[in-house]
Protein backbone atom coordinates (compact mmCIF):
# COMPACT_ATOMS: atom_id res chain seq x y z
CA UNK A 1 0.00 0.00 0.00
CA UNK A 2 2.85 2.41 0.78
CA UNK A 3 5.05 1.48 -2.17
CA UNK A 4 5.51 4.42 -4.52
CA UNK A 5 3.60 6.76 -2.20
CA UNK A 6 4.69 10.04 -0.64
CA UNK A 7 4.11 9.90 3.12
CA UNK A 8 4.32 12.72 5.64
CA UNK A 9 4.39 12.19 9.39
CA UNK A 10 3.98 15.13 11.75
CA UNK A 11 5.81 14.85 15.03
CA UNK A 12 8.06 12.49 13.13
CA UNK A 13 11.00 12.78 15.53
CA UNK A 14 9.01 11.39 18.48
CA UNK A 15 9.00 7.80 19.70
CA UNK A 16 6.18 6.72 17.40
CA UNK A 17 7.60 8.62 14.44
CA UNK A 18 11.00 7.00 14.69
CA UNK A 19 9.53 3.51 14.92
CA UNK A 20 7.17 4.24 12.02
CA UNK A 21 10.08 5.41 9.88
CA UNK A 22 12.04 2.28 10.75
CA UNK A 23 9.15 -0.02 9.79
CA UNK A 24 8.40 1.79 6.53
CA UNK A 25 12.04 1.81 5.42
CA UNK A 26 12.39 -1.89 6.26
CA UNK A 27 9.21 -3.18 4.63
CA UNK A 28 8.15 -0.72 1.92
CA UNK A 29 9.53 1.35 -0.94
CA UNK A 30 7.89 4.78 -0.60
CA UNK A 31 8.55 7.50 -3.15
CA UNK A 32 9.18 9.98 -0.32
CA UNK A 33 9.02 9.76 3.45
CA UNK A 34 8.82 13.24 4.96
CA UNK A 35 9.63 13.82 8.62
CA UNK A 36 7.81 16.99 9.72
CA UNK A 37 8.70 18.39 13.14
CA UNK A 38 9.81 21.60 14.85
CA UNK A 39 12.93 20.21 16.55
CA UNK A 40 16.02 20.60 14.37
CA UNK A 41 18.27 18.80 16.86
CA UNK A 42 16.11 15.66 16.82
CA UNK A 43 15.96 15.81 13.03
CA UNK A 44 19.76 16.03 12.93
CA UNK A 45 20.03 13.05 15.28
CA UNK A 46 17.59 11.01 13.16
CA UNK A 47 19.51 11.90 10.01
CA UNK A 48 22.61 10.24 11.43
CA UNK A 49 20.78 6.92 11.04
CA UNK A 50 18.41 7.66 8.15
CA UNK A 51 19.56 10.19 5.57
CA UNK A 52 19.11 10.84 1.86
CA UNK A 53 22.42 9.11 1.04
CA UNK A 54 21.45 5.80 2.64
CA UNK A 55 17.71 6.19 1.99
CA UNK A 56 17.01 8.42 -1.04
CA UNK A 57 13.30 8.67 -0.17
CA UNK A 58 13.86 10.38 3.21
CA UNK A 59 13.20 14.10 3.69
CA UNK A 60 13.36 16.30 6.79
CA UNK A 61 10.98 19.26 6.91
CA UNK A 62 11.19 21.79 9.74
CA UNK A 63 7.84 23.22 10.71
CA UNK A 64 5.11 23.48 13.31
CA UNK A 65 1.54 22.20 12.90
CA UNK A 66 0.42 25.59 14.24
CA UNK A 67 1.77 27.15 11.02
CA UNK A 68 -0.91 26.58 8.38
CA UNK A 69 1.15 28.01 5.51
CA UNK A 70 4.08 25.75 6.29
CA UNK A 71 1.79 22.72 6.35
CA UNK A 72 0.27 23.72 3.02
CA UNK A 73 3.76 23.68 1.54
CA UNK A 74 4.77 20.44 3.28
CA UNK A 75 1.69 18.53 2.07
CA UNK A 76 2.19 19.37 -1.60
CA UNK A 77 2.35 16.12 -3.55
CA UNK A 78 1.72 14.01 -0.42
CA UNK A 79 -0.45 10.89 -0.64
CA UNK A 80 -0.69 9.84 3.03
CA UNK A 81 -0.42 11.82 6.27
CA UNK A 82 0.10 10.44 9.77
CA UNK A 83 -0.61 13.14 12.32
CA UNK A 84 1.40 12.29 15.44
CA UNK A 85 2.39 15.78 16.59
CA UNK A 86 0.89 16.81 19.95
CA UNK A 87 1.58 18.36 23.30
CA UNK A 88 0.79 15.34 25.46
CA UNK A 89 2.13 15.86 28.97
CA UNK A 90 -0.93 16.25 31.22
CA UNK A 91 0.62 18.58 33.86
CA UNK A 92 2.20 20.78 31.17
CA UNK A 93 -1.14 21.12 29.37
CA UNK A 94 -2.89 22.00 32.64
CA UNK A 95 -0.36 24.77 33.30
CA UNK A 96 -0.14 25.99 29.67
CA UNK A 97 -3.68 25.52 28.33
CA UNK A 98 -3.44 27.95 25.43
CA UNK A 99 -0.31 26.23 24.11
CA UNK A 100 -1.99 22.81 24.20
CA UNK A 101 -5.01 24.19 22.35
CA UNK A 102 -2.85 25.82 19.66
CA UNK A 103 -0.97 22.60 18.94
CA UNK A 104 -3.60 19.92 19.51
CA UNK A 105 -6.74 21.68 18.24
CA UNK A 106 -5.62 24.43 15.87
CA UNK A 107 -2.90 22.10 14.60
CA UNK A 108 -5.53 19.48 13.76
CA UNK A 109 -7.55 22.07 11.84
CA UNK A 110 -4.42 23.05 9.90
CA UNK A 111 -3.69 19.43 9.00
CA UNK A 112 -7.22 19.03 7.64
CA UNK A 113 -6.99 22.25 5.61
CA UNK A 114 -3.59 21.33 4.19
CA UNK A 115 -4.72 17.80 3.28
CA UNK A 116 -7.83 19.05 1.49
CA UNK A 117 -5.95 21.82 -0.30
CA UNK A 118 -3.38 19.35 -1.64
CA UNK A 119 -5.65 16.41 -2.44
CA UNK A 120 -4.05 14.04 0.09
CA UNK A 121 -5.54 10.55 -0.24
CA UNK A 122 -5.63 9.43 3.40
CA UNK A 123 -5.03 11.02 6.79
CA UNK A 124 -4.72 9.07 10.05
CA UNK A 125 -4.60 11.08 13.29
CA UNK A 126 -3.23 9.54 16.48
CA UNK A 127 -5.43 9.92 19.55
CA UNK A 128 -5.32 8.73 23.16
CA UNK A 129 -7.47 6.99 25.73
CA UNK A 130 -7.56 10.32 27.56
CA UNK A 131 -9.80 11.71 24.81
CA UNK A 132 -12.68 9.52 26.01
CA UNK A 133 -14.67 11.17 28.82
CA UNK A 134 -11.79 13.64 29.38
CA UNK A 135 -11.13 15.19 32.78
CA UNK A 136 -7.94 17.05 31.83
CA UNK A 137 -7.13 19.62 29.18
CA UNK A 138 -4.90 17.30 27.18
CA UNK A 139 -7.75 14.79 26.86
CA UNK A 140 -10.19 17.58 26.01
CA UNK A 141 -7.96 18.90 23.22
CA UNK A 142 -7.55 15.41 21.79
CA UNK A 143 -11.32 14.89 21.92
CA UNK A 144 -11.69 18.11 19.91
CA UNK A 145 -9.07 16.81 17.50
CA UNK A 146 -10.91 13.49 17.14
CA UNK A 147 -14.15 15.31 16.39
CA UNK A 148 -12.45 17.51 13.80
CA UNK A 149 -10.98 14.54 11.93
CA UNK A 150 -14.12 12.39 12.04
CA UNK A 151 -16.17 15.35 10.79
CA UNK A 152 -13.68 16.36 8.10
CA UNK A 153 -15.34 14.14 5.52
CA UNK A 154 -18.13 16.70 5.38
CA UNK A 155 -15.68 19.12 3.73
CA UNK A 156 -14.25 16.71 1.18
CA UNK A 157 -16.85 17.31 -1.51
CA UNK A 158 -15.88 15.61 -4.77
CA UNK A 159 -12.36 14.82 -3.52
CA UNK A 160 -11.34 11.36 -2.41
CA UNK A 161 -9.56 12.41 0.80
CA UNK A 162 -10.29 10.05 3.71
CA UNK A 163 -9.81 11.00 7.37
CA UNK A 164 -9.76 8.60 10.33
CA UNK A 165 -8.46 8.37 13.90
CA UNK A 166 -6.49 5.71 15.78
CA UNK A 167 -6.98 5.71 19.56
CA UNK A 168 -4.89 3.61 21.91
CA UNK A 169 -3.42 3.56 25.41
CA UNK A 170 -0.02 4.37 26.88
CA UNK A 171 2.93 3.40 24.71
CA UNK A 172 5.49 1.23 26.48
CA UNK A 173 8.85 2.92 26.82
CA UNK A 174 7.91 6.11 24.96
CA UNK A 175 9.45 9.39 26.03
CA UNK A 176 7.82 10.73 29.17
CA UNK A 177 6.17 7.43 30.11
CA UNK A 178 6.25 5.92 33.58
CA UNK A 179 8.71 3.12 32.76
CA UNK A 180 11.84 5.27 32.35
CA UNK A 181 10.70 7.24 35.42
CA UNK A 182 10.48 4.06 37.50
CA UNK A 183 13.83 2.85 36.18
CA UNK A 184 15.46 6.08 37.32
CA UNK A 185 13.74 6.10 40.72
CA UNK A 186 14.69 2.47 41.30
CA UNK A 187 18.16 3.73 42.18
CA UNK A 188 16.72 5.46 45.25
CA UNK A 189 15.07 2.30 46.62
CA UNK A 190 11.61 3.92 46.70
CA UNK A 191 9.03 4.10 43.90
CA UNK A 192 6.17 6.62 44.15
CA UNK A 193 2.77 5.06 43.44
CA UNK A 194 -0.09 7.42 42.67
CA UNK A 195 -2.81 4.92 43.64
CA UNK A 196 -2.55 1.12 44.08
CA UNK A 197 -5.84 0.69 42.18
CA UNK A 198 -4.67 2.57 39.09
CA UNK A 199 -4.78 0.67 35.77
CA UNK A 200 -3.78 1.55 32.23
CA UNK A 201 -4.02 0.11 28.72
CA UNK A 202 -0.61 -0.65 27.28
CA UNK A 203 0.70 -1.02 23.72
CA UNK A 204 4.19 -1.33 22.26
CA UNK A 205 5.56 1.04 19.62
CA UNK A 206 5.65 -1.83 17.13
CA UNK A 207 2.00 -2.67 17.76
CA UNK A 208 1.04 0.99 17.49
CA UNK A 209 2.72 1.30 14.10
CA UNK A 210 1.14 -1.91 12.80
CA UNK A 211 -2.30 -0.79 13.95
CA UNK A 212 -1.93 2.54 12.15
CA UNK A 213 -1.01 0.67 8.95
CA UNK A 214 -4.07 -1.53 9.45
CA UNK A 215 -6.25 1.56 9.80
CA UNK A 216 -4.80 2.99 6.58
CA UNK A 217 -5.77 -0.17 4.75
CA UNK A 218 -9.28 -0.56 6.19
CA UNK A 219 -10.66 2.95 6.72
CA UNK A 220 -13.70 4.12 4.78
CA UNK A 221 -13.52 7.50 6.48
CA UNK A 222 -14.57 9.09 9.78
CA UNK A 223 -13.89 6.06 12.01
CA UNK A 224 -12.07 5.90 15.32
CA UNK A 225 -10.09 2.65 15.40
CA UNK A 226 -9.46 1.18 18.87
CA UNK A 227 -7.23 -1.91 19.32
CA UNK A 228 -7.95 -4.62 21.86
CA UNK A 229 -5.17 -4.21 24.42
CA UNK A 230 -4.14 -5.68 27.77
CA UNK A 231 -4.47 -3.70 30.97
CA UNK A 232 -1.91 -3.49 33.74
CA UNK A 233 -2.06 -2.39 37.33
CA UNK A 234 0.43 0.33 38.28
CA UNK A 235 1.50 -1.48 41.44
CA UNK A 236 2.12 -4.65 39.42
CA UNK A 237 4.28 -2.63 37.04
CA UNK A 238 6.32 -1.28 39.96
CA UNK A 239 6.78 -4.82 41.30
CA UNK A 240 7.85 -6.03 37.85
CA UNK A 241 10.44 -3.26 37.49
CA UNK A 242 11.78 -3.11 41.04
CA UNK A 243 10.53 -5.87 43.37
CA UNK A 244 13.23 -4.93 45.86
CA UNK A 245 12.00 -1.36 46.27
CA UNK A 246 9.60 0.11 48.79
CA UNK A 247 6.48 1.88 47.52
CA UNK A 248 5.19 5.25 48.60
CA UNK A 249 1.57 6.18 47.79
CA UNK A 250 1.62 9.84 46.75
CA UNK A 251 -1.93 10.33 45.40
CA UNK A 252 -3.07 10.94 41.84
CA UNK A 253 -1.96 14.09 40.05
CA UNK A 254 -4.37 16.76 38.80
CA UNK A 255 -6.10 15.54 35.65
CA UNK A 256 -5.41 11.83 36.21
CA UNK A 257 -7.96 9.02 36.36
CA UNK A 258 -7.87 5.79 38.36
CA UNK A 259 -8.84 3.87 35.21
CA UNK A 260 -8.75 4.89 31.55
CA UNK A 261 -11.59 4.42 29.08
CA UNK A 262 -11.20 4.05 25.31
CA UNK A 263 -14.88 3.56 24.44
CA UNK A 264 -17.46 5.21 26.66
CA UNK A 265 -20.98 3.91 27.23
CA UNK A 266 -22.41 6.75 25.16
CA UNK A 267 -20.29 5.68 22.16
CA UNK A 268 -21.20 2.00 22.48
CA UNK A 269 -24.35 2.29 20.39
CA UNK A 270 -22.22 3.45 17.45
CA UNK A 271 -19.37 0.96 17.99
CA UNK A 272 -18.56 -2.30 16.26
CA UNK A 273 -16.44 -5.15 17.59
CA UNK A 274 -13.98 -7.05 15.39
CA UNK A 275 -11.67 -9.92 16.33
CA UNK A 276 -8.74 -7.72 17.37
CA UNK A 277 -10.16 -4.20 17.51
CA UNK A 278 -13.20 -1.94 17.76
CA UNK A 279 -14.44 0.79 15.42
CA UNK A 280 -16.40 3.82 16.63
CA UNK A 281 -18.53 5.33 13.88
CA UNK A 282 -19.94 8.86 13.93
CA UNK A 283 -23.63 8.83 14.71
CA UNK A 284 -24.35 10.41 11.33
CA UNK A 285 -23.12 7.33 9.44
CA UNK A 286 -23.42 4.53 12.01
CA UNK A 287 -26.83 3.32 10.87
CA UNK A 288 -26.22 3.59 7.13
CA UNK A 289 -22.73 2.08 7.16
CA UNK A 290 -22.87 -0.69 9.77
CA UNK A 291 -23.93 -3.30 7.22
CA UNK A 292 -20.69 -2.76 5.28
CA UNK A 293 -18.66 -4.35 8.08
CA UNK A 294 -19.55 -7.99 7.52
CA UNK A 295 -17.10 -9.41 10.10
CA UNK A 296 -18.19 -7.10 12.93
CA UNK A 297 -20.85 -7.28 15.59
CA UNK A 298 -22.49 -4.32 17.35
CA UNK A 299 -21.27 -3.58 20.85
CA UNK A 300 -23.86 -3.93 23.66
CA UNK A 301 -25.72 -0.74 24.49
CA UNK A 302 -24.12 -0.44 27.91
CA UNK A 303 -20.62 -1.50 26.80
CA UNK A 304 -17.61 0.42 28.11
CA UNK A 305 -14.00 -0.39 27.23
CA UNK A 306 -12.38 0.37 30.58
CA UNK A 307 -8.85 -0.55 31.72
CA UNK A 308 -10.23 -1.41 35.17
CA UNK A 309 -12.81 -3.93 33.92
CA UNK A 310 -10.84 -5.23 30.93
CA UNK A 311 -10.68 -9.07 31.21
CA UNK A 312 -7.21 -9.12 29.62
CA UNK A 313 -4.82 -8.17 32.44
CA UNK A 314 -1.05 -8.62 32.41
CA UNK A 315 0.43 -10.47 35.37
CA UNK A 316 3.66 -9.42 37.09
CA UNK A 317 5.55 -12.21 35.32
CA UNK A 318 4.15 -11.17 31.92
CA UNK A 319 5.14 -7.59 32.64
CA UNK A 320 8.66 -8.71 33.53
CA UNK A 321 8.91 -10.61 30.27
CA UNK A 322 7.57 -7.60 28.40
CA UNK A 323 10.02 -5.25 30.08
CA UNK A 324 13.13 -7.39 29.61
CA UNK A 325 14.09 -5.69 26.36
CA UNK A 326 12.62 -2.33 27.35
CA UNK A 327 15.04 -1.83 30.22
CA UNK A 328 17.96 -2.35 27.86
CA UNK A 329 16.78 -0.01 25.12
CA UNK A 330 13.67 2.10 25.61
CA UNK A 331 13.72 3.63 22.16
CA UNK A 332 14.48 0.68 19.89
CA UNK A 333 12.76 -2.26 21.55
CA UNK A 334 10.16 -4.24 19.60
CA UNK A 335 8.34 -5.73 22.53
CA UNK A 336 5.66 -8.36 22.31
CA UNK A 337 3.55 -9.67 25.15
CA UNK A 338 2.02 -13.05 25.68
CA UNK A 339 -1.44 -13.48 24.17
CA UNK A 340 -2.37 -16.04 26.78
CA UNK A 341 -5.77 -15.23 28.17
CA UNK A 342 -6.78 -12.87 25.38
CA UNK A 343 -10.58 -12.64 25.45
CA UNK A 344 -12.27 -14.09 22.39
What are the start-end ranges of the H helices in 49-124?
68-74, 90-95, 97-101, 107-118
b/e code 253-279 from CB counts within 10 Å (16+ = b): eebbbebbbbbebebbebbbbbeebbb
Q: What angle do CA 44, 65, 54 make, to 5 degrees?
A: 30
Instruction: Give every CB contact of residue 172 below 8 A, 6+ residues apart in sequence.
Output: 179, 202, 203, 204, 205, 322, 326, 333, 335
Distance CA 21, CA 16 (A): 9
**Separation of alpha carbons 314 and 319, rounded Å:** 6
Catalytic residue among 130, 147, 187, 246: 130
Q: How far apart are CA 49 and CA 179, in angstroms?
A: 25
Mark whether 42 is an active-site residue: no
Can you state the percent helix, strand and coil of the chain, rounding each to 5?
40, 20, 40
* Residues with active-site annotation: 130
Amino acid sequence: MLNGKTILITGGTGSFGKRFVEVVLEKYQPKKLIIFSRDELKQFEMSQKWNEKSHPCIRYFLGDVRDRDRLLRACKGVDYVIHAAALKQVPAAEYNPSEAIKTNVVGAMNIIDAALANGVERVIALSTDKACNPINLYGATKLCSDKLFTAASAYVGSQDTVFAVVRYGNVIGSRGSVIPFFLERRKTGVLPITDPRMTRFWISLEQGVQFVLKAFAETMGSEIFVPKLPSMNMLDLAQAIAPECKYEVVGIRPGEKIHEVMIGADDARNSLEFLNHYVILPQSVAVTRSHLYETAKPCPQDFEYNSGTNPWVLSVSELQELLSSTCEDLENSTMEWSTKGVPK
